[in-house]
Amino acid sequence: MSTHTALITGSTSGLGASFARQLAAQGYDLVLVARDGDRLQAQAESLTSQYGVRITVLVADLVTEDGVGAVQERLTDARHPVHLLVNNAGHGLPTDFVESELDAERDLLRLHVQTTMELTHTAARAMRRRRAGRIINVASVAGFTPTGTYSAAKAWVINFTKSVHQQLRGDGITVTALCPGLVRTEFHERSGIKVKGAKRWMWLDAEDVVREALTASAQGASMCVPSRSYQMLTASLKFVPDTMVRWAMERRVGVPTEGEAMAQLESGGGRRHGGDGTAEPTSEATRTVDAYKAAKAQDSRGRDAAAPRSSETGAAGPEAEGSETASSETSTSEVPTTPTSTVRAEESTTHGEPESSGSMRLNGRNPLKK
């Protein structure tokens, strides 16, 4: 019988399922938390038969007080302590902030921010009494970008995790933020989010992401950004203007109209991505920068060309003003607009320096999530 127990939220799919498999393979007893009781039971039976570990299932909706309370009660059970907490549950939104229903925005923040804070607080208190324990909060590379509510929530998770890690490291407790980029899971499909034009190197394997996260946590790192490419990407974002980040996101993220989003959600449809490989992020970044500069230059030329035509007509009357306005609107439309939504992508992580590693997720609509 195992002497260690791990509790995983959102365990039935994506990164959560990978965490469950790898921890069971390491001999951990598991407490699996999700909303779908049938899937939880099937997952528990499969892992028990394959690895012979003891598994408890907890059906809970972590957007509700009752659901969070049930998990907190398990975390405070002194007779069966939880040694590793994985705050993995999460979802994205297929529409941008203004188009989303306010209740949907509240639920997203409730799950990613408040629930993560409450479970971390409960687990940390119990672990501090034992002076040992580990917590992994799944964030995203999206947390390094100003692209919407999802990215804002993940930015909070990253900073919150690093802060708590500093407070508890002297008590034998490690708190790690996992920041993956795009991960091959059902996250985007289930959230109704489309990702277009993503390069092969941008897609990470869930098993690899979880393996790096567990290694980083065991080594005492406060952050894990899986894959060297995402580590370079997140580091470079410190020097890139926000307007350029949003422009690049629009080129990478499929921003569905409200009708398309609803149709996709109702049908359960989505786009699957496969393939593997590694690209050269430096050359790709260079092409993105060049394309951005070209678009800005084109806009500037359009505005310059409009000015002489206005002056030639003499004093600006109604017709001249209308002509100038039309010219300005035309040139502006040629410049890519900011992404209306951020695609959330399941997160992948690569651990590097304990305090500086981080993987990147893009939000607004975030293509990089968990």
Question: What is the separation of C-alpha 224 from the centre of its chain, rounded to a whole number of angstroms?
Answer: 13
Is 150 a catalytic site residue?
yes
Q: How does DSSP classify residue 336? A: P
- The Cβ of residue 121 has, within 10 Å, a number of other Cβ atoms equal to 13
DSSP H or E run through 204: strand 203-204
Query: What is d(CA 42, CA 217) in angstroms, rounded to the nearest whole number?
Result: 28
Q: What is the CB-side half-sphere exposure of residue 25 using CA atoms within 13 A? A: 10
Between CA 271 and CA 16, with CA 223 as vertex, the angle to 5 degrees is 45
Catalytic residue among 28, 150, 230, 292: 150
Select from 349, 341, 369 the least CA-distant residue to 148. Answer: 341
Between CA 346 and CA 351, with CA 348 as vertex, the angle to 5 degrees is 155
Amino acid at 92: G
- The Cβ of residue 312 has, within 10 Å, a number of other Cβ atoms equal to 8
Query: Which active-site residues does the annotation give?
Result: 150
